[in-house]
Structure 1
Amino acid sequence: MIDIFAHAELHHIAATPKAGTAVDHVLPRSGFEAAWTEITAWDGYAPTPMVSLAHLAKRVNVARIDYKHEGPRFGLGSFKALGAAYAALRVLAQEVSRRVGHPVSLQDIRDGRYAEVCTQITLVSATDGNHGRSLAWGCQRFGAPCRIYIHAEVSEGRAQAMRDLGAEVIRIDGDYDASVALARAEADENGWFVVSDTSWEGYSEPPRDVMTGYGVMTREACEALTSAPTHVFLQGGVGGLAASVTASLKQYWGDACPRVVIVEPELAACLYESARTGVATSVDIAEETIMAGLSCGEPSEMAWDILAEEANDYVTIPDSIVAPTVRLLARPLDGDPALDAGESAVAGLAALIAARQSLSLSEQLGLDDTSRILLIGSEGVTDPDIFDAIMTGTTLG
């Protein structure tokens, strides 16, 4: 099965991280600590597994592969359960405080002390699936109405999962970036509140809260490791996950922080293009990638501030190696545990396996038999129909 990766065409840009303080001023330690204190107090909280893929590591000739499996997270199937729900709680506490004329705590909202006020505050967002599901779950928990905007290629299974959590789902004909624009416009017109995982000029606090929520996952990963990884391979998308993990790792490990490799679909490589140009750069998406959660053409400016200073490498991968990677995790080499992962979860692993089939790319990424790799398995099976199609070979790859 590994042989299929030898024919994959990956593109690589070596970045030159800039000296700066974005890690500390964009996502300060105090924000990560506050998110940890709050989220670990939620009903149903439990750390997700850190899984060692020892036999696969031996097969691709690296020292370790540690895979943080986010499938079990709060029963929602994705790390995004940590972000949107936390940001929603923060928005509600702030707005309820304004309406009642005195400070209201996160616990006040969580415990339902202002349930009637929350029913009058509508939260909205655009999503490829997982972020919207987390927001819908949070709104259901905290008693606020929820509107989710999805683009034409979001699967009906993912749409229904959000409806099942009480969200009103609005499907548009355009792509993800068009759904973001419509969510913003209708929120402005109606006095609703956008809870997005991407930032833009004049809009930064909810995306910051989303990214600090993700820090719970990274702290769990760091505490499960006995030494710093040499590399971390991180999914792209708008950059929120990558920036959050990068900042958390830097704050935790300091000078021993692993080399940061950003991985994107070649069909939606806005961070790769940003690295090429040196500024946050949008790309047009002409064709949707199988990695639905990474189909983003416009980077988060806040996330880019961190990645521009800290990321070492940017790699794009073809869709053709995604389904084989999903199957490799589900039907692993003898001795490794079986993992059910979604399409976006495996981007880093797919890039790692393919890179190790190329001596030149391995050298460019500093990979050898002593490398210790951390991977973020960002989602489990969030659409069973798509997963079944991958496992039976009736979808790409």
Structure 2
Amino acid sequence: MVKKEATHVRLNPMNRRNGKGMSIPEFVSPKAAYTAETFHRTFPDYQPTPLVGLPGLATKLGIRQLLVKDESHRFGLNAFKVLGASYAIARYLCEKLGIPIEEADFAYLRSEEVKRQLGELTFVTATDGNHGRAVAWAAAQLGQKAVVYLPKGSASQRVEAIRKTGAHAHVINGNYDEAVRLSDQMARERGWQVIQDTAWEGYTDIPAWIMQGYTTMAAEALQQIAEQFPGETPTHLFLQAGVGSMAAAVLGYVVARNPSQYPFAIIVEPHAADCFYRSAAGDGRALPAMGDLRTIMAGLACGEPSPLAWEILRDYADAFASCPDSVAAEGHAQPRASCRG
């Protein structure tokens, strides 16, 4: 009998819960989230994604309720990533136009008037799949071009899904972090604009806008909880992390909404790309994962934390979990009968 790999959980010794020097970045504040959600609502196909109950699994775990935000319905792209990519590209276009995002909407930014003012722009990014497709889709929707670099071993279906949007997609002979560096290099050489969901020195505005875009998902979820379960608040929050931008955006927004009482937050990663789990054992600095990042959790195969994300997760996450691939495989195999909605 083959022994299953264990999930490792590490409590966060740096957590600032209970007011120990709490400071939430403005870009994930309720005000910033409202601005992002208002823009997203101008998309013709915008609809809040469902909050789905898993009563069978909740019963098995001995808890009253387990809810999952089902992002497979987001603009037909099966992922939340488009919230960040579309908002960041919109913010970039607004800056080029010299107008605040509050004065723009989807229809205006894709208009011939904007195209005449700005000309044809090319956005470039690196991805393990969903972020690249989101950038490609958003660029196409707004009448612009996109180039996407993917790491070695990327599934052909992911590559073709990106190309179907009209973007150029290239698989490199390197991992995700090397694809990020290549996209930055090509942008500097060819005058393109990087739209990346991880930050580095000198590149923080666009990653912050991407995170601001992700807060739409969190705002929707809290509103749905308030409507479906009046008077109740979630006790625990599980968030998956690649570079950490989504996890940090959602957690930062939730903390900003109620700094004195927010859910116990657990950040979950694959063993092969457990950079946050490793960072939580260090001296407060973000640490990279080790190895080749090979995992079936392809969208999470990121070895270097985004500094913007790490600052939030370091301060407000309660625990970090590193999981074997078998956890994802088992979850994927669960019958749909365990779901409601």
- The TM-score, its normalising length taken from structure 2, stands at 0.91
Tell me the equivalent position of 1:28.
Answer: 29
- Kindly report the root-mean-square deviation, in angstroms, between the aligned alpha carbons of the 2 structures: 2.0
User: Runs of 5+ in structure 1 lacking a partner?
Assistant: 339-397
Q: Which residue number corresponds to residue 106 of structure 1?
A: 104
State the alpha-carbon separation in 2 of the partners of residues 153 and 337 from structure 1: 35
Q: Aligned-pair distance for 1:78?
A: 0.4
Alpha-carbon shift at residue 332 of structure 1 (Å):
3.3
The aligned residue for residue 194 of structure 1 is: 194
Cα pair 2:55 2:66 within 8 Å, conserved: yes
Superposition deviation, residue 91 in structure 1: 1.1
Please name the residue that 1:206 is paired with.
206
Task: Please point out which of 260, 265, 268 is paired with 1:263.
Answer: 268
Aligned residue in 2 for 1:332 = 337
Q: Which deviations, in whole Å up to 9, do the C-alpha atoms of 1:83-107 show, x marking residues without a partner?
A: 111111111222244xxxx778533
How far apart are the structure 1 equivalents of 2:216 and 2:31? 13
What are the residue-to-residue correspondences of 1:158-307 with 2, within 5 Å?
A: 158-225=158-225, 226=229, 227-277=232-282, 278-307=284-313
Aligned to 2:11: 14
> When the two structures are superposed, what TM-score results if normalisation uses the length of structure 1?
0.78
Change (3 A) 1:272 1:13: same
Deviation at 1:223, TM superposition (A): 0.7
Cα distance in 2, alignment partners of residues 95 and 246 from structure 1 = 30
Q: Determine the C-alpha separation between the residues in 2 that align with 1:45 and 1:287.
A: 34
After superposition, give the CA deviation of every residue in 1:138-197 in whole Å (9 maximum; x if it has no partner).
Answer: 111111111111111211111111111011112100000000000001101111110110
Cα distance per residue 1:249-275 (max 9 Å; x no partner)? 112343221001000001100111111
Instruction: Map Cα deviations across residues 267-319 of structure 1 (whole Å, 9 max, x no partner).
Output: 10011111111211112332411000000000000011111110000011100
1:79-98 to 2 correspondences below 5 Å = 79-97=80-98
Q: Distance in 2 between matches of 1:184 and 1:167?
A: 17
Partner deviation per Cα, 1:318-353 (whole Å, 9 max, x = no partner)? 00221121110x4434xx338xxxxxxxxxxxxxxx
Amino acid at match of 1:10: T
Q: Secondary structure at the match of 1:161?
A: helix
Secondary structure at 2:337's aligned position in 1? coil
Following superposition, the deviation at residue 42 of structure 1 comes to 1.0
Does structure 2 conserve the Cα–Cα contact (< 8 Å) formed by 1:153 and 1:288? no
Closer, same or farther in 2 for the Cα pair 1:110/1:250, shift >3 Å? farther
| Equivalent position SS for 2:266 | strand
Q: Which amino acid aligns with 1:86?
A: Y
Kindly provide the amino acid, as one letter, of the partner of residue 292 in structure 2.
Answer: A
2:325 matched residue in structure 1? 319
User: What residue in structure 1 maps to residue 137 of structure 2?
Assistant: 137
- CA 119–292 in structure 1, closer or farther in 2 if over 3 Å, else same: farther
AA at the equivalent of 1:132 = G
Give 1:75 shift: 0.6
> What is the SS of the residue equivalent to 2:260?
helix
- Which moves more between the two structures, 170-179 or 277-286? 277-286
Secondary structure of the residue that 2:201 maps to in structure 1?
coil
Q: Cα gap change, 1:63/1:93 in structure 2, threshold over 3 Å: closer, same or farther?
A: same
Which residue of 1 is the match for residue 44 of structure 2? 43
Query: For the structure 1 residues 120 and 20, does the alpha-carbon distance in structure 2 shift closer, same or farther, using more than 3 Å as the test?
Result: farther
Give the deviation of 1:110 after TM superposition: 3.8
Q: Mean Cα displacement is larger for which, 261-270 or 14-23?
A: 14-23
Paired letter, 2:7:
L
Distance (Å, rounded) in 2 between the aligned partners of 1:310 and 1:250 = 8
Equivalent residue, structure 2, for 1:371: none
Q: Secondary structure at the match of 1:20?
A: coil
Q: Deviations over 1:105-162 (max 9, x none)?
A: 5333144421234443211110111111111111111111111111112111111111
Percentage of identical aligned residues: 36
- Number of matched pairs: 327
Question: 1:118 touches 1:143 (CA, 8 Å); kept in 2?
Answer: no
What's the secondary structure of 1:90's corresponding residue?
A: helix
1:315 aligned counterpart, secondary structure: strand
What do the CA deviations read for 1:45-80 (whole angstroms, capped 9, x no partner)? 001111111121011111210111000001111011
Task: Answer whether contact 2:273 2:303 (CA < 8 A) is retained.
Answer: yes
Residues 242 and 262 of structure 1 are in contact (CA less than 8 Å); yes or no, is this contact kept in structure 2?
Answer: yes
Aligned to 1:388: none
